[in-house]
Amino acid sequence: MTKINELLKESRTVSFEFFPPKSDAEAAVLGETIRDLESLHPSFVSVTYRGGAESRQRTYDLVTMMRRDTSLNPMAHLICVAHSRGELTEILEQYRDASIDNLMALGGDPPTEPDAKVGELQYALELVELARSVGDFSIGVAAHPAGHPRSETLNSDRDRLARKLEAADFGVTQFFFSIEEYRSLVNDIADRGVTKPILPGIMPVTSLSSVPRMATMGAPVPAWAIERLESAESTGGADAVREEGIALATELCAALLEEGAPGLHFYTLNRSKATREIALALGLNQK
C-alpha cells in the first residue's frame, strides 16, 4: 500500500471517492463501479464515513476489502463528532493494524439525533494530531473553496485551513465549478506560508434537478454554468444536459491540470460512467 503523500511527491494523482453501501442493491452497484474504475488504475480511492457504529463498520469493511481483494489503494475517512477520544484511538489502531496507511481526518457535521453523544474532539486538526500519535498515517484534510458553511468569514476559514494543512500531508477540496475558486484557495493558503498539495474535488452536474442540492452542500453552481445547462435542456432535453455537464467538468479538469494542480479527485456517487468519460477524455489512465 502506497502512502498518498509519497504519491504526490512523485507525480500527478487521479483518485475516486465512494460511500459504503447500505443494502445489497447498493453493494451490487458499487461492486460494478469498482470493477469499472479499477481498470483506470487510480492513484488511490477514498471511502466516506458518517459516524456511528454501523457506518464505522461499513467504512472499515469496504476499505479493508479493497486492500485485500483489489489493486486499489484505499483511504479511510474518519470524523470527530459523536466519538470519545478513546473510541477514535481504537478506530485508528484498527486501521493501523490492518495496514491502512491513508486517512482523511474530518470534523464532521454535528449530530442531529436528540440522544446523540457529543464527541470529545471538535475539529479535524485535533484528529490529525491524535492520528499522528497512533500511527504513521498519510493524512488528508478537507478544504472548502467557498469557505466552510459554518465559518464566520472566508478569511477565518482560510486561517483554520492553513493550520490544518500544516499538521496534515495534503488537502482535498469540496467540489467547485470554476478555476478561479481553486486558484484563490491555493493562493490564500500559500500567502499564509503553507504549500502542502491541495487536490481539487470534481463532481459533474448531470441534471438540473441536482443544482439546488449542490447549493445546500456549500458549492453553488454558478449562473453561467446553469445557463449552459438550461440551454442544453432547451435544445436536447435531459440527455443534452448530462452531456453538457460532462463537458463543463472536463473543461474544468483540463484548466486545473494546466494550472498545475497536483491531481484530480472525483466524487463518483458510486457510479462510474460520468467519471470514466471525463477521465478517458483527458487521458487520465494511470498505467
pLDDT tens track, the chain, 287 positions: 799 999 999 999 999 999 999 888 999 999 999 999 999 999 999 999 876 677 788 999 999 999 999 999 999 999 988 789 999 999 999 999 999 999 999 998 766 655 666 678 989 999 999 999 999 999 999 999 999 888 899 999 999 999 999 999 999 999 999 999 999 999 999 999 999 999 999 999 999 999 999 988 888 999 999 999 999 999 999 999 999 999 999 999 999 999 999 999 999 999 999 999 999 999 886 55
Q: Buried b / exposed e across 130-163, counting CB within 10 Å, b at 16+?
A: bbeebeebbbbbbbbbbbbeebeebeebbebbbb
What integer pLDDT is reported at residue 241 of this predicted model? 96
> In 10 A of CB 71, how many CB atoms?
9
**Distance between alpha carbon 129 and the CA centroid of its chain, in Å?**
20
Distance CA 126, CA 70 (A): 32
Angle between helices 179-191 and 154-167 (to 10 degrees): 70
Nearest residue to 177 via CA among 270, 248, 74: 248
Nearest residue to 77 via CA among 159, 141, 34: 141
In the chain the domains, ranked by start, together with CATH numbers, are: 4-281 (3.20.20.220)
3-class secondary structure, 45 = strand
Would the pTM count as exceeding 0.85? Answer: yes
Nearest residue to 266 via CA among 281, 91, 195, 151: 281
For residues 46, 50, 51 and 56, what is the CA-based torsion angle, rounded to 10 degrees? -40
What integer pLDDT is reported at residue 54 of this predicted model? 78
Catalytic residue chosen out of the listed positions 6, 10, 17, 259: 17
Q: Mark whether 17 is an active-site residue.
A: yes
